[in-house]
Amino acid sequence: MMSVSLVKGGRISLSKEKPGLSKIVVGLGWDVNASDTGREFDLDASVFLTDASGKVSDDANFVFYNNLTSKDGSVVHTGDNRTGAGEGDDESIKVDLNKVSADVKEINIVVTIHEANERKQNFGMVRNAFVRVVDESDGKEILRYDLEEDFSVETALMFGRLYRDSNEWKFAAVGTGFKEGLAGFCRQFGVNI
């Protein structure tokens, strides 16, 4: 099976692409040009597990570098890569779709630039950003979304979203963001900051 390449707004049923799929890895990657500001870039992946109201039911369902596991244990952040250097995934999120609490309807995958305002950095300085979903059981890539738009003011972007549709898990390529950084997404998803 070949990997499906999505464009912004594209959707795919993971349940149809790979029947019986349970454990996936969401890989996120990017390249940065430190010479744009003369300061190091530190991009961070975060995940918001939201219920039918579009909010997190518990702050423990905000998964990031200081809270690496969701309340139900279904989502695990594998840790912060502070440089973004090298090939392949810069940060990874492991998801066990079968363990996700019944009240969780969406798993929103966000990447933010740490201290973006202080360092005068934004996603316009980030190249080759992507999100991909891999079947953990065989290491095969199921889908990939390359964010090719120009995000010249945004300091936080939603790369993609896993969501329940009846009894199927689907993935949507989102590619939208905020200039308020992580705080913008925390407000949107009801996290107490």
The answer to whether position 86 is within a domain reads yes
**Per-residue pLDDT at 133:** 97
**Per-residue pLDDT at 81:** 62
Secondary structure element (H or E) that encloses residue 17, with its range? helix 14-17
Query: Which structural domain, as residue segments, surrounds residue 52?
Result: 4-188
**Per-residue pLDDT at 103:** 96
Higher pLDDT: 35 or 85? It is 35
- What 3-state DSSP class applies to 66? coil
Which residues, at least 6 apart from 8, have a Cβ–Cβ distance to it below 8 Å?
145, 147, 149, 173, 174, 175
Number of domains in the chain: 1
- pLDDT 10s digits, 101-117: 999 999 999 999 999 98
- Of the candidates 21, 102, 97, the residue with the CA atom closest to the CA atom of residue 57: 102
Q: 178 has which bridge partners? A: 156
Q: Sorting pLDDT into bands at 50, 70 and 90, what band is 141? A: very high
The answer to whether position 50 is within a domain reads yes
- What 3-state DSSP class applies to 78? coil
pLDDT at 174 over 80: yes
Distances (CA, A) of 92 to 136, 137, 163: 12, 15, 18
Contact 97, 43 (CB under 8 A): no
pLDDT at 55 over 90: yes
Q: Sorting pLDDT into bands at 50, 70 and 90, what band is 2? A: confident
Which residues, at least 6 apart from 164, have a Cβ–Cβ distance to it below 8 Å?
104, 105, 106, 170
The answer to whether position 97 is within a domain reads yes
Query: b/e map of 48-84 (b: 16 or more CB within 10 Å)?
Result: bbbbeeeebbeeebbbbbeeeebbbebbbbeebbeeb
Q: For residue 51, what is the domain's CATH number?
A: 2.60.60.30
pLDDT at 78 over 80: yes
Sign of CA dihedral 146, 122, 125, 29: negative
**Per-residue pLDDT at 150:** 80
The answer to whether position 35 is within a domain reads yes
pLDDT at 69 over 70: yes
- What 3-state DSSP class applies to 34? helix
Whole-model pTM: value is: 0.92
**Per-residue pLDDT at 83:** 52
Distances (CA, A) of 24 to 27, 31, 70, 120, 169: 9, 23, 15, 35, 11
What average pLDDT does the chain have?
91
pLDDT at 86 over 80: no
Q: Sorting pLDDT into bands at 50, 70 and 90, what band is 192? A: confident
The answer to whether position 193 is within a domain reads no
Percent of the chain with pLDDT over 70: 93
The answer to whether position 130 is within a domain reads yes
Q: Sorting pLDDT into bands at 50, 70 and 90, what band is 151? A: confident
The answer to whether position 135 is within a domain reads yes
CA 79 to chain centre: 13
**Per-residue pLDDT at 80:** 61
Query: How do 106-113 and 43-50 pair as beta strands?
Result: antiparallel
Phi (first) and psi of residue 34, to 5 degrees: -60, -25
